[in-house]
């Protein structure tokens, strides 16, 4: 019974809206490519669109999904919007998922909690 409750709690944890948005964003090959392009430099929507054989509205839709998931952010520069990766959002989401789901990752979660508690207690 305890195992069943833990499994149910875990299933809810890994399907929270923020995590769900990230995985939905990653489900698309063009969006993963956009993330790869943005690892090297910030780009405008036009610069991103030039790398794909698809319409600008389609690219805009992909950028919107990535921005809604919190993986990228756009900053207006005159008539353009320059997109950049959101620091740590992807790695934090994936680490959290692995620590929750992967048997090998569970000790990492316990270790992370212990370190956080240790840091907290040393500050007090």
| Answer CATH for 2-123 from 1.10.1040.10, 1.10.10.10, 3.30.300.30, 1.20.58.740 | 1.10.10.10
Residue pair 14/97 in contact by the 8 Å Cβ criterion? yes
| Percent of the chain that is helix, strand, coil (3-state, to 5) | 65, 10, 20
> In tens digits, what is the pLDDT along the chain, a chain of 124 residues?
555 665 676 667 666 778 889 999 999 999 999 999 999 999 999 999 999 999 999 999 999 999 999 999 999 999 999 999 998 899 888 888 887 777 665 666 666 666 667 677 776 6
Residue pair 33/71 in contact by the 8 Å Cβ criterion? no
Q: Which helix (H) or strand (E) holds 77?
A: strand 72-77
Query: pTM higher than 0.75, yes or no?
Result: no
């Amino acid at each position: 019974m305890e195992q069943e409750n833990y499994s149910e709690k875990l299933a809810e944890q890994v399907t929270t809206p923020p995590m769900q948005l990230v995985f939905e964003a990653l489900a698309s090959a063009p969006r993963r490519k956009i993330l790869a392009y943005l690892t090297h430099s910030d780009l405008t929507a036009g610069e991103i669109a030039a790398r794909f054989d698809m319409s600008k509205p389609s690219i805009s839709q992909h950028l919107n999904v990535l921005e809604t998931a919190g993986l990228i952010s756009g900053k207006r520069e005159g008539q353009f919007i320059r997109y950049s990766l959101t620091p740590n959002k992807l790695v934090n989401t994936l680490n959290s998922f692995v620590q929750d789901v992967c048997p090998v990752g569970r000790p990492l979660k316990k270790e992370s909690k212990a370190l956080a508690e240790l840091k907290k207690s040393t500050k007090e």
